[in-house]
Amino acid sequence: MKTKTITYREALREAMDEELTRDDNVVIFGEEVAQYNGAYKVTEGLWSKWGDKRIFDTPISEAAFIGMGVGASMLGVRPVMELMFWSFHSVAFDQLVNNAANVRYMSGGQCNCPIVVRGPANGGTNVGATHSHVPEAIFASMPGLKVVSPATPEDAKGLMKTAIRDNDPVYVMESTVLYGMSGEVPESPDFTIPLGKAKVEREGSDITLIAHGGSVVPALKAAEELAEKHNINAEVVNLRSIRPLDQDTIIESVKKTNRAVIVDESKPFCGVSAQLITLIQEYAFDYLDAPVGRVCTIDAPAIYSPHIEAEQLPNQKRIVEKVLKVAK
């Protein structure tokens, strides 16, 4: 398949543009997504192309516009709603979790809720504790919701297109740190990535590093350092999708390498990493040569100081140190 090099931001925009073309029921709304082109310029140019009926701004009320999206989706609209930060999810928690997640179940399958809620969910930009939440574990714990976390421009386009076409709520956890990152993306408008399918970004034989979203970047850098300086060949698995989760790829990799370290920007307590360790313990325990390790965000509110926050998040140095302990 022919590819081109574009940024993560451009890949998200291209996915939405193609789906607006493909399906007249797709609409995009949120705070400043229209004339202003989005807080992070992800929707740049879409309003000028599609106009007010397909791309429109909302009041600064996540509870209001997420609720509107849930209601509209029950009538056949496919809303793509931008949260300026996923940290603002809490003011629309009832709409996101109680309503969207349960509509199809409570209606006996008579009503779908084909919404996409997207926006940045990451630390590392020094915007303080109230703007740096990584809440994928919260939503992934709720039956009825699907959660994805793109790590590359290819992920961003393929997962976004699949999310828009899905008949269930899909919450796309992006990263402001990745928006400017470039990568190869298939040019075909038919390109999609199925939910629940991980990707092995780097083949290895000595240990498995499992990561998603922004954590894939330091995991890959750590893998290179481990190979060059310590003669350790690490396999890196990019989850792409948190729920549904590609259990087979995870277990097959761990069975091959016999060791694992989870790299997860979530906090450690009740985070995604905790679920992954439970999974490995249940299905690959007899293959392990060492306890599963993990490198998470240090369990405290996001620290405003740039130098300290860089140490709070999973980084190359911390990953290498953990691997050396697990692999000794």
Q: Which of 157, 198, 153, 150 is nearest to 171 (CA)?
A: 150
- 270-298 confidence digits (pLDDT tens): 999 999 999 999 999 999 999 999 999 99
- 79-124 confidence digits (pLDDT tens): 999 999 999 999 999 999 999 999 999 999 999 999 999 999 999 9
Tokens for 138, please give them: 């919260």
Tell me the whole-structure pTM to 2 decimals. Answer: 0.96
Average pLDDT, integer, range 116-138: 94
Q: Say which of 44, 131, 225, 252 is annotated catalytic.
A: 131
The pLDDT of residue 307? 92
82 included as an active-site residue? no
The pLDDT of residue 260? 98
- 148-183 confidence digits (pLDDT tens): 999 999 999 999 999 999 999 999 999 999 999 999
Is the CB of residue 210 less than 8 Å from the CB of residue 237? yes
Cross-strand pairs, 234: 207
Tokens for 70, please give them: 């849930």
- 190-235 confidence digits (pLDDT tens): 999 999 999 999 999 999 999 999 999 999 999 999 999 999 999 9
Q: Say which of 14, 18, 31, 62 is annotated catalytic.
A: 62
Q: Running DSSP on this structure, what letter comes out for residue 134?
A: -
Is the CB of residue 27 less than 8 Å from the CB of residue 173? no
What gap in Å lies between CA 9 and CA 304, rounded to an integer?
25
The pLDDT of residue 1? 80
Average of per-residue pLDDT values in the chain: 97
133 included as an active-site residue? no
Confidence of residue 313 (pLDDT cuts 50, 70, 90): very high
Looking at the chain, the whole-number percentage of residues with pLDDT higher than 90 is 99
Average pLDDT, integer, range 243-260: 98
| pLDDT tops 90 at residue 328 | no
